[in-house]
Amino acid sequence: MALPVAFFAVFFAYPVAAIVARGLRVDGVWQLGRLVDVLAQPDIRHVLWFTTWQALASTALTLLVALPGAYVFARYDFPGKQVLRAVVTVPFVLPTVVVGMAFLALVGRGGLLDDLWGLRFDTTVWAILLAHVFFNYAVVVRTVGALWAQLDPRQEEAARMLGASRLAAWRKVTLPALGPAVAAAALMVFLFTFTSFGVVQILGGPTFSTLEVEIYRQTSEIFDLSTAAVLTLVQFLAVGAILVLHAWTVRRRESTLRLVDASRTARRPRGAGEWALLGSVLATVAVLLVLPLAVLVGRSLDAPGFAYYEALTHDDGGTFLVAPIHAIGTSLQYAVAATGIAVLIGSLAAAALARRDAGRLVRGFDALLMLPLGVSAVTVGFGFLIALDKPPLDLRGSWVLVPLAQALVGAPFVVRTMLPVLRAVDARLREAAAVLGASPWRVWREVDLPIVRRALLVAAGFAFAVSLGEFGATVFIARPDNPTLPVAVARLLGRPGDLNYGQAMALSTILMVVCAVALLVLERLRTDRTGEF
């Protein structure tokens, strides 16, 4: 736990504490009364209420829509499965600003639905909820599906042979085993929607505002750092309470499971019911996920030929110091570095948390690991600039600052993906290896690693995808001569004119392609035969 604790203390707790202290201290005196003043404002209370209930609604809707997809990807084998899995994950790595723009082009004024049927609901709650499902569908499919694919189906079959109905067998055998993974996925979805920024800012208009949007408005538009600090503290405390509740309700629910090679559990659908389920999932993916992406690609091709893509190779001397096309290489380099950091930190933390004899202090750190997903990215970005500007941590001019910020978001995904599988490993396998003379390192290499290799690759893929799409903190610390893809898209969208809008859509399309290729490579790596355990 030493390295994960040090990493989160230095690069998360310290910057966040620094920015909050800067906002609540005036001439060295703490202005704690500001907390009451801010929370007493009716508009702030309305923001708190909307932030909470839309996050709950988004989480419930995402689980309802995505759990059938998790089952289909885990249990069925069909042509194009690997490609479709990558397509499902691409929306998650898109910057939230681009997701908002894609749905605005779909459901807004002059959008596809408006042109075809006169339907427009861009400034309604439904547009926000659907965009959140679009963004978080992959979280449920990949987090729950990764464990579901490795559950031995013979356990449920044994219950059926003993007289249980299909529903009873699933409810009493499979669902309890999936409980930790479902809870982890629901927690991640809630945290992402609770701190939603780009989607609400674009689709909500002036009517709807989350805490994250309000923090950004107070910081960059009104320049009221004290109000922003109060809202950050409220968000921090709310997320902390949610994580404590989550740890209290689901802790120790993991059980020793019989895990098998995922390739042996997937089979071709049989019967009309299974084919109908597969068809409904494919239709959901096509309408909810592929259609907005297709609109995005169509917008990038509105100009004759490939004019928008060609414009990316030129430096206009205004928006960027380099041609926008350079953001591709920069993003890939940062993402690889951030993935390495996140996998190292997350794997160590997951290994420590998975121990059955872990103390309360170690178990408490499980909840703290999720805080970077629930704290304002605006706060983290500003905190990096304020806190990491003096020796020995003067990193403002270093390229490593961006991967560190991205790894903060990626590491919780590594932990949440690996932890259920690590806790499900039968401890007797490790004990038998130790009795036979294996060292702790060899026990990990020979027993744990073959079992968790699939989860490790899934975790690495998530960390890489999150790093590519991270925007909130990166926008404040990325250097003008090395912008990432999300930062470049946001800057282009912020400038008027059809050319800038088209370039933003073109750059977003390139980001989609890069992510899809990376995820397809990952799918090839993670489908190797690992044997049965």
Predicted confidence band at 344 (pLDDT cuts at 50, 70, 90)? very high
Residue that the structure tokens 């809008």 belong to: 501
> Is the Cβ–Cβ distance between 62 and 137 less than 8 Å?
yes
Paired with 29 in beta bridges are 26
Predicted local confidence at residue 355, as pLDDT: 75
Cα–Cα distance for residue pair 405/46, rounded to 1 Å: 31
400 has pLDDT over 80: yes
Where residue 52 falls among pLDDT bands split at 50, 70, 90? Answer: very high
Top mean pLDDT of 79-83, 167-171, 283-287, 518-522 is at 283-287
Give yes or no for residue 404 having a pLDDT over 60. Answer: yes
Beta bridge pairs of residue 30: 25
Q: What is the mean pLDDT of residues 75-96?
A: 81
| pLDDT at position 382 | 76
CA 91/CA 68 separation, integer angstroms:
18
Nearest to 507 by CA among 456, 464, 468: 468
- Please tell me which residue, 83 or 31, carries the higher pLDDT value: 83
**125-148 and 42-75 helices, crossing angle to 10°:** 40
pLDDT band at 27; cut points 50, 70, 90: low
> Rounded to the nearest 5°, which phi and psi values hold at 76?
-105, 145
pLDDT for res 529: 41
Give dist(CA 21, CA 24) in Å, integer: 5
DSSP string, 208-242: ---HHHHHHIIIIIS--HHHHHHHHHHHHHHHHHH
SS3 assignment for 371-390: HHHHCCHHHHHHHHHHHCCC
Q: What is the mean pLDDT of residues 35-45?
A: 84
Q: What is the pLDDT of residue 181?
A: 83
Tell whether the model's pLDDT for residue 246 goes beyond 70.
no
More confident residue, 109 or 526: 109
- Mean pLDDT computed over 479-484: 82
- Range with the poorest average pLDDT among 239-243, 408-412, 467-471, 504-508: 239-243
Pairwise CA distance, residues 265 & 533, whole Å: 13
Given a cut of 50, whether residue 530 has pLDDT beyond it is no
In this structure, what token pair is assigned to residue 128? 């926000």
* pLDDT in the model for residue 532: 33
| Average of per-residue pLDDT across 26-46 | 78
Distance from C-alpha of 384 to C-alpha of 396, rounded to nearest angstrom: 8
Tens-place pLDDT, residues 184-208: 888 889 988 988 887 888 887 777 8
Give residue 475's pLDDT band: very low, low, confident or very high (50, 70, 90). Answer: confident
Task: Label residue 356 by pLDDT band (50, 70, 90).
Answer: low
Residue range 377-388: mean pLDDT, rounded: 80
Is the pLDDT reported for residue 252 higher than 50?
no
Any idea which of 3-17, 232-246, 359-373, 447-461 has the lowest mean pLDDT?
A: 359-373
DSSP 259: B
258: pLDDT strictly greater than 60: no
Residue 235 and residue 38: Cα distance in Å, rounded?
A: 13
Give mean pLDDT, residues 472-485.
81
Whether the pLDDT of residue 57 is over 80: the answer is: yes
Number of Cβ atoms within 10 Å of the Cβ of 175: 11
The pLDDT value recorded for residue 132 is: 93
Average pLDDT over residues 248-269: 59
120 against 261, higher pLDDT: 120
Question: Helices marked H in 40-95 — which ranges?
Answer: 42-75, 81-93
What pLDDT, on the 0 to 100 scale, is given for residue 316?
62
Q: What would the pLDDT profile of 122-138 be if each residue is shown by its tens digit?
A: 667 888 999 999 989 98
pLDDT band at 341 (very low <50, low <70, confident <90, very high): very high
**Exposure string for 510-519, b = 16+ CB within 10 A, e = fewer:** bbbebbbebb
Structure tokens at 479: 């250097």
Instruction: Report residue 3 as tokens.
Output: 């390295």
Output the pLDDT for position 256. Answer: 46
The whole-chain average pLDDT of the chain stands at: 81
Nearest in space to 101 (alpha carbons), one of 519, 512, 453: 512
Q: Which of 206-210, 227-231, 410-414 has the highest mean pLDDT?
A: 410-414
For 311, the token pair is 């414009």
- What's the whole-number mean pLDDT along residues 291-309? 84
DSSP string spanning 156-223?
HHHHHHTT--HHHHIIIIIHHHHHHHHHHHHHHHHHHHHT--HHHHHHSTTT---HHHHHHIIIIIS-
Burial 359-392 (b: 16+ CB within 10 A, else e): eeeeeebbbbbbbbbbbbbbbbbbbbbebbeeee
Higher pLDDT, 264 or 204: 204
What confidence tier does 149 reach under pLDDT thresholds 50, 70, 90? confident
pLDDT at 531: 35
Q: Once rounded to an integer, what is the mean pLDDT over residues 11-23?
A: 83
Listed residue (119, 102, 232, 124) closest to 508, CA to CA: 102
What percentage of the chain has pLDDT greater than the value 70?
A: 87
